[in-house]
Amino acid sequence: MRRAIMAIVLGLLPPGALCAQSTWTTVIQTRSLNLDAELLGGDSLGAGGADISQTSIRTTITAFVTPALSVVVSGGAGLSDLQGFAGASEAQGLTDTRVKLFYRIAGGRVLLGAGVVAPTGLHSLEPDELSTAAGVWSPLLGFPLKRLGEGWGGDVSGSVAFPLGDRTTLGLGAGYYARGEYDLSANPVSQYRPGNEISSTAAFDFIEERTGLRLALALRSFAADRLNGADYIDQGDQIEGTARFWWRGDRLGMALTGHAVAKGDNRFFVSAARGAATAEDPGGRSVFFGGRLSWQASGRLSIFGEATGGLFTDYEAALVPVNGRSWTAGPGLGWQPGPNLETSVRFALTGGSAEDGGSYDGYDVLAMVAVKR
């Protein structure tokens, strides 16, 4: 029962929010893609296609101060590079640093959280960095760091788990995220403030010794984004659904995941010179799915294969296409030198195609190290 309660609480919080012991996890990832000319519209900017890549390092530290109180610190750095698209463009720097405290009460059934985002990342972009920033932002291309920084922020959250039986639990949660203003670009100077966010979540967990199932639903509502002190865009409400199934045998294991996002129409505020008129654009729809199959070759060595895919529709046109299909698939190895150290490496091929024509291909390499104590 206690495992089911903790699982449902975890399902309502960011990955890495809690664990059975303190951990330090670092991920190093390189993703490199070749975009063909048709994907870029075939005009003079993308007549010869383009190469875009990103190398990132991301670290999450979870430490238990007391059995009931834990702190999670996360941050990293990234280097993104775009070649062949109207020349060359590069953006590099640290990410913002996130610190969040979690406190458990009522026997672990209730979890309270409060956090802050410190603006240690790159958020003020020079003109020659804008093309790279637009490319890595596109969800179709699948880069892990969409932006390096977005200024100050803070959030509070809470969740409660209701046992429904020996193996099933229902969880409910809510959160509020306040965002601060930052320099969107350095020349010309653009002060941008994303709208604050209110979220509510619900999740159902079924856990047995060798299998588990999680179904989760989240609703997010946003205040208007502001540009240079004036309302710029009213983000549509967003609903998300997630399903995850896992099974673990003596040596074999598998996991299947699905995630769908539907966002309401975005409403843009037109300048005062044109009165109070507004324009609407679709908010976008996306579906993600993934699978993992693993085999425990020995007490320390595991072999696994992973595959993911995505479908993106109804997003507003951008410099780099957003609507289309994407996939990533490849093998990996896991190695556990000791009880408190885990490592893994995964190499994958990746590709995709845009709704209006054109495609890309490339590779994705990821290495992970986790230290526990």
Q: Is the pLDDT of residue 131 over 80?
A: no
Q: Is the pLDDT of residue 13 over 50?
A: no
Average model confidence (pLDDT) across the chain: 85
Q: Is the pLDDT of residue 149 over 50?
A: yes
Mean pLDDT of 5-12: 41
β-bridge pairing 189-193 and 153-163: unpaired
Better-predicted residue by pLDDT, 273 or 37: 37
Q: Is the pLDDT of residue 273 over 70?
A: no
CA dist list (Å): 122 to 76, 139, 148, 355 = 11, 20, 5, 31
CA angle at residue 83 from 89 to 39, to 5 degrees?
A: 110
pLDDT in tens, 30-88: 999 998 877 765 544 445 678 999 999 999 999 999 989 999 999 999 999 888 765 67
Looking at the structure of the chain, the number of domains it has is 1
What is the reported pLDDT for 319? 64
Phi then psi for residue 3, to 5 deg, are -65, -40
Q: Is the pLDDT of residue 14 over 60?
A: no
Q: Is the pLDDT of residue 189 over 60?
A: yes
The identity of residue 298, as a single letter, is S
Q: Which domain holds residue 291?
A: 2-372
Q: Is the pLDDT of residue 167 over 70?
A: yes
Give the alpha-carbon dihedral of 6, 7, 12, 15, to 10 degrees.
100
Show the DSSP H helices in 91-164 as ranges: 130-137
Better-predicted residue by pLDDT, 126 or 32: 32
**Res. 307 pLDDT band, cuts 50 70 90:** very high
Q: Is the pLDDT of residue 165 over 80?
A: yes
β-bridge pairing 238-248 and 182-186: unpaired
**Res. 129 pLDDT band, cuts 50 70 90:** confident
CA angle at residue 240 from 309 to 131, to 5 degrees?
A: 60
- Structure pTM? 0.85
What is the reported pLDDT for 328? 97
**Res. 278 pLDDT band, cuts 50 70 90:** low
pLDDT in tens, 331-348: 999 999 999 999 999 999
Using CA atoms, how far apart are residues 107 and 109, in angstroms rounded to an integer? 6
State the DSSP code for 342: E
What is the reported pLDDT for 39? 74
Q: Is the pLDDT of residue 12 over 70?
A: no
Q: Is the pLDDT of residue 158 over 80?
A: yes
**CATH code for position 75:** 2.40.160
Using CA atoms, how far apart are residues 133 and 139, in angstroms rounded to an integer? 12
Q: Is the pLDDT of residue 4 over 60?
A: no
Residue carrying the six token digits 């997003």: 315
What is the reported pLDDT for 270? 64
